Amino acid sequence: MNSAKKATESSRQFDDEPPLDLNEALGVVAEAEKRARRELRGNGAWVYLLWALTWFLGFGTLHGSRNGWIPVEPSTALVLFGLLVAAGVGATIVIFGRQSRGIRGHSTFIGGFYALAWILGFAVMGVLSSAIGVAVEGFWLRGMLINGIAILIVGLLYITGGTTFNDVVQVVMGVWFLVVDIASIIAGPEHFLTVFFIFGSGGFFVGAAVQALRQRRGPVNA
Amino acid sequence: MPELDPVIHAESRLRAITTLNEVGERNRIAFTKLQKILDMTAGNLSTHLRKLEDAGYVTVTKTIEGRTPATYVAITPAGTAAYAAYRSALHQLLTTELTEKS
């Protein structure tokens, strides 16, 4: 009797589940892994798509306002951008909150401090933004500087998150955002929004597509 | 020829231990969440977890969250090792089967 048959016979002594052949066992493992990863790690593709749309609409409105393509004042466009980002943050918290519910231990510790890093990073950015608001007069130069700091935090935390949670897509996106950040600052106050509208939201769209493909492919090996 | 661990080699327990392996040794998962992921009845899941627990592959702990009792399940280091050995044996047996067919 080969070992697969022996294992099947032995497992039948434990319960009355139907016998499992080798290929079925491989299928069970692949399906269970795929489902567990989806339930435990959430759907990263949706989070990236959410932020792609947030940046596309937010930077798009500012970009359109800056160039006079849409009848919206820059200050109104900025408020709209802020509201979109706030909605994106809220939705992200809900998604990750649902995903981490029912799990205790080391990942709770890591996730908690990673979330705290985001909160602290943007708290520092808020204080810096106030100082920049007082020190810098030009509306678009101010915007470029504040945006530059915000994306620096986003890029660094994406790289940190990617290395912590072993997610290469997140690491690459973090690197991409930092490169786009440098390019936007070099482009200057006149064009930084164009750079972010195209390459910032574009990075999120590509990241969402790549992540969706990776999630669909799932584990295949024994 | 490698042997397939009979404690693991049954669909429900294989699904359960695969999921617990994804949760990781350093974490524990609420019984209700595990039940939802595996789409099993509470009774059925309890039965299979008891078999895995008897083999030393998982630990089941009961706690109180607020005023509600909660049960958490975690894979043990022995469970992780047994699961890795099972995966390795499965891989080897499938490779042998393929080689014999060709």
- Give helix then strand counts, H and E, for chain A: 9, 1
Q: Write phi, then psi, for B60 (nearest 5 degrees).
A: -120, 120
Number of neighbouring beta carbons within 10 Å of residue B53: 16
Cα separations (Å) of A48 from A85, A92, A207, A219, B23? 13, 10, 6, 21, 23
A40–B18 C-beta distance less than 8 A: no
Instruction: Give the mutation candidate from B7, B9, B51, B54 for the A interface (greatest A CB count, under 10 A).
Output: B9
SS3 label, residue A167:
coil
The tokens for B88 are 């390795």
Instruction: Give the mutation candidate from A1, A8, A20, A22 for the B interface (greatest B CB count, under 10 A).
Output: A22
B90–A22 C-beta distance less than 8 A: yes
Note the pLDDT of residue A216.
77
Return the closest-CA partner of residue B91 out of A221, A31, A2.
A221
Residue B76, classified by CB atoms within 10 Å of its CB into exposed (0-12), middle (13-18) or buried (19+), is middle
CA torsion through residues A46, A51, A57, A60, sign: negative
Using a CB-CB distance cutoff of 8 angstroms, which residues of chain A are in contact with residue B91? 221-222
B7–A107 C-beta distance less than 8 A: no
pLDDT at A16 over 70: no
Q: Are residues A102 and A64 in the same domain?
A: yes
SS3 label, residue A103:
strand
Contact B86, B8 (CB under 8 A): yes
pLDDT tens digits, B35-93: 999 999 999 999 999 999 999 999 999 999 888 899 999 999 999 999 999 999 999 99
Return the closest-CA partner of residue B80 out of B51, B50, B59.
B59
Residue A13 — very low, low, confident or very high, per pLDDT cuts 50/70/90?
Answer: low
Whether A222 maps to a domain, the answer reads: no
Q: Are residues A114 and A148 in the same domain?
A: yes
Residue A100 — very low, low, confident or very high, per pLDDT cuts 50/70/90?
Answer: confident
Lowest mean pLDDT among A33-42, A77-86, B6-15, B21-30: A33-42
CA distance B102 to chain A (A): 16
Q: Is A106 on the interface with B (CB under 8 A)?
A: yes
Q: Are residues A9 and A96 in the same domain?
A: no
pLDDT tens digits, A109-164: 999 999 999 999 999 999 999 999 999 999 999 999 999 999 999 999 999 999 99
Using a CB-CB distance cutoff of 8 angstroms, which residues of chain A are in contact with residue B14? 20, 25, 28-29, 32
A32–B18 C-beta distance less than 8 A: yes
Q: Measured between CB atoms, which of A3, A24, A104 is closest to B27? A: A104
The tokens for A18 are 């139907």
Note the pLDDT of residue A42.
77
Indicate the pairing of strand A103-105 with strand B58-65.
unpaired
Q: Are residues A18 and A86 in the same domain?
A: no
Whether A79 maps to a domain, the answer reads: yes
Q: Are residues A112 and A207 in the same domain?
A: yes
Cα dihedral: A82, A87, A88, A94 (round 10): 150
Between CA A141 and CA A137 the distance in angstroms is 8
A18–B37 C-beta distance less than 8 A: no
B72–A104 C-beta distance less than 8 A: yes
Contact A48, A91 (CB under 8 A): no
- CATH code of the domain containing B15: 1.10.10.10
B10–A11 C-beta distance less than 8 A: yes
Which ipTM was obtained for this model? 0.91
pLDDT tens digits, A166-200: 899 999 999 999 999 999 999 999 999 999 999 99
Note the pLDDT of residue A6.
60
B37–A35 C-beta distance less than 8 A: yes
Average pLDDT, chain A: 90
Residue A220 — very low, low, confident or very high, per pLDDT cuts 50/70/90?
Answer: very low
pLDDT at A222 over 60: no
pLDDT top residue among A218 and B98: B98
Residue A18 — very low, low, confident or very high, per pLDDT cuts 50/70/90?
Answer: confident
Return the closest-CA partner of residue A40 out of A109, A108, A115.
A108
Task: Note every long-range contact of A83-89, with CB atoms under 8 Å and residues 24 or more positions apart, other chains counting.
Answer: A84/A54, A84/A57, A84/A58, A85/A54, A85/A58, A87/A54, A88/A50, A88/A51, A88/A54
B23 Cβ contact partners less than 8 Å away, ≥ 6 residues apart? A36, A40, A103, B29, B74, B75
Q: Are residues A96 and A202 in the same domain?
A: yes
% of chain A exceeding 70 in pLDDT:
91
A104–B2 C-beta distance less than 8 A: no
Stretch A20-24: mean pLDDT, rounded?
90
Residue B56 DSSP symbol: T
Residue A191 DSSP symbol: T
Residue of A nearest to B88 (CA): A222
Residue A9 — very low, low, confident or very high, per pLDDT cuts 50/70/90?
Answer: low
Count of residues making up chain B: 102
Give bridge partners of residue B29 from the DSSP assignment: A103, B73
Work out how many domains chain A is built from and give that number.
2
Whether B3 maps to a domain, the answer reads: no
**The domain containing residue B52 runs over which residues?**
11-101
**The domain containing residue A9 runs over which residues?**
3-33
Q: Measured between CB atoms, which of B4, B26, B37 is closest to A4? A: B4
Residues 2-61 of A with CB under 8 A from B: 2-4, 6-8, 10-11, 13-15, 17-18, 20, 22-26, 28-29, 31-33, 35-37, 39-40
List strand residue ranges (DSSP E) for chain A, in order. 103-105
B28–A104 C-beta distance less than 8 A: yes
Between CA B17 and CA A137 the distance in angstroms is 61
CA distance B69 to chain A (A): 13
Q: Are residues A136 and A51 in the same domain?
A: yes
